[in-house]
Amino acid sequence: METVDKVDMIKNHGLTASENLEKFLKRIEAKNDDINAFLEVRGEEAIKRAEEIDARIASGKETGKLAGLVIGVKSNINVEDFNVSAASKTLENYTGSYDATVIRRIKEEDGIIIGMTNMDEFAAGSSTETSFFGPTDNPAAPGRIPGGSSGGSAAAVAAGMCDLALGSDTGGSIRNPASHCGVMGFKPTYGAVSRQGLLDLAMSFDQIGPLAADVSGISLALDVISGYDPADPTTLDSSPDLEVERELKGLRVGVVREFLEVTDEAIDEVIQGKLGAMEDEGAEIVELDFGYIDLCLPTYYLINYVEFFSATRKYDGRKYGHRIEDVCGSEVLRRIHMGSYISQKELSGKYYKRALQARSLIRREITGLLSHVDIIAGPTVPKLPHTLGEELEPMEMYAYDVLTVIANLAGIPAASIPAGDVGGVPVGLQLQAKPGDDGMIVSAMREIASL
């Protein structure tokens, strides 16, 4: 059942919010011990919320756009009275004292927050293995990583534990796990969604976005959480137009040669098959070249290190839990040390400032390519998820991000939609568009999903 149809059913007495919630609570009870998608579930509060919504519907009162839908939230987004740990021992006892703007908007539209999902510690990772609370398994490919850092949110949707989930995307942290878990994930245009209440990884990259099993769920969630927020000066004055309707016929789809060249052959075959199906429906495939693919990862990570170092200075053990350097995992500590080193006055010009210059170059190049097409389509992740517990060198782990960091560097919208599988392991198709063209991507996702 499409998410939007479920909302209609709840509002029109075909299904109660309580019945919808109960199904998910049973699913979580049965599956979460094995998958570890949720770190905290607040069933009693969710039941009360569902009962309130049902009572309003029964009395003929108006309900919101998300009426009765059950939503998981990544553990780095503030939800009042929930444990907002960022999957770190640093904040293992921190309870949210307020709702992030996106959470407030979800509650205003009668969404039901069921719990907090697992993630890589402080969002520093691409596998959801660095969590202090243990790794998350991939429901779509058991024994493999679900991707990260929003792996718990993707796994929760894939395992049927909630209708929707929120993640945060710094360099692919929504799209990467969406691809690996066979669900849909969306990173909005930078500034389209408020970051107020998000525990930053890198403030100039971070965006909150939704994960869902269908396009209507993505569209509903974006409609609710997007929009100007006076509490976040980075937000745009207006929301993206999500009502765009474009058929595949006549849609100009850019395919970047270098994106395919850095991707495993088996994944390329799946992507080429989906591109061929789009072309059969009348899409115009336009071949593009991007000569800066090798520049993207070092540019992204140099900026990431510096901004992450700055963001973590507040975790000094005085106001927020433990001192981060005393209790964090190796990847978080690596990024803190690298950020501290690069931030030194005598080195910032050599590394950080050059990275900012490279970022501007990459942004110009990508927006230039997008001026010739409606969307760019290609693989979301260049390789299949590794098995849980497999030892990878840092650069091997970072390589998962080579195709997703580009959208964050450029501030453009991007999404991942299931494209097929390799030996039963899901593969995602990434769609990217011009800044503000979030609706173009949603429209393309809707058309592609029907192929």
Catalytic residue, from 18, 149, 168, 219: name it.
Answer: 149
Rounded to 10°, the helix 352-370/293-311 angle is 130
The string of DSSP letters for 157-180 reads HHTTS-SEEEEEESSSTTHHHHHH
Catalytic residue, from 74, 107, 274, 434: name it.
Answer: 74
CB atoms within 10 A of CB 48: 13
Catalytic residue, from 18, 168, 173, 216: name it.
Answer: 173
The question of whether 173 is a catalytic residue gets the answer: yes
CB atoms within 10 A of CB 395: 9
Rounded to a whole number of angstroms, the CA Rg of the chain reads 21
The question of whether 149 is a catalytic residue gets the answer: yes
Are 288 and 255 in contact by the 8 Å Cβ rule? The answer is yes
CB atoms within 10 A of CB 260: 18
* Four-residue CA torsion sign, 248, 254, 257, 258: negative
The question of whether 75 is a catalytic residue gets the answer: no
Tell me the one-letter amino acid at 90: T
Nearest by Cα to 163 from 118, 214, 116: 214
The H-assigned helical ranges of 371-414 are 394-398, 405-410
Positions marked active-site: 74, 149, 173
